[in-house]
Amino acid sequence: MRRLLPLALCGLSGLAWGEACVVHSQAERLDVKVCQQNRSIPPNLFRTGFCQPQLKGQKVDVSFVEQCPTGAFGVCRNARVGGTPYQQDVHYYGVANDAAYLKPFCEQQSKGVWMAY
């Protein structure tokens, strides 16, 4: 039994990995970085659907992390994902002036709570 405990702990630590994804998209005059922290989305669906945006004409880089990095200018907490019961926290990086558009979207469309940093 003692030999199985380290293996079980290693398996559990893998469950936490990838519960957030950093999405960096770039186009001619666009450079956007967000991080989606999973709250209630099934892990497989989070990785294969929610963290795989299809943004036409943009170069998109996605990386999975345990939690969103520091340095966001704002976070939409408990954001509901369009027409589903799922929630996530969306961290925004880059131009803080974008909060003028992101805060209303967070509160009205996503039914989240905006937190400015």
pTM value is 0.80
Q: What is the spatial distance between Cα 76 and Cα 103, in angstroms, rounded to a whole number?
A: 8
Residue 97: inside a domain:
yes
Residue 52: inside a domain:
yes
> Could you read off the pLDDT of 46-90 as tens digits, one per residue?
999 889 887 788 899 999 999 999 999 999 999 998 888 999 999
**Among 45, 38, 41, 33, CA closest to 19:** 38
Residue 54: inside a domain:
yes
CB 88, CB 76: distance < 8 Å:
no
Residue 13: inside a domain:
no
Confidence of residue 18 (pLDDT cuts 50, 70, 90): low
Residue 11: inside a domain:
no
Residue 47: inside a domain:
yes
Domain that holds residue 56: 20-116
Q: What is the pLDDT of residue 105?
A: 95
Residue 57: inside a domain:
yes
Q: What is the spatial distance between Cα 40 and Cα 88, in angstroms, rounded to a whole number?
A: 7
Give the number of domains in the chain.
Answer: 1
Residue 2: inside a domain:
no
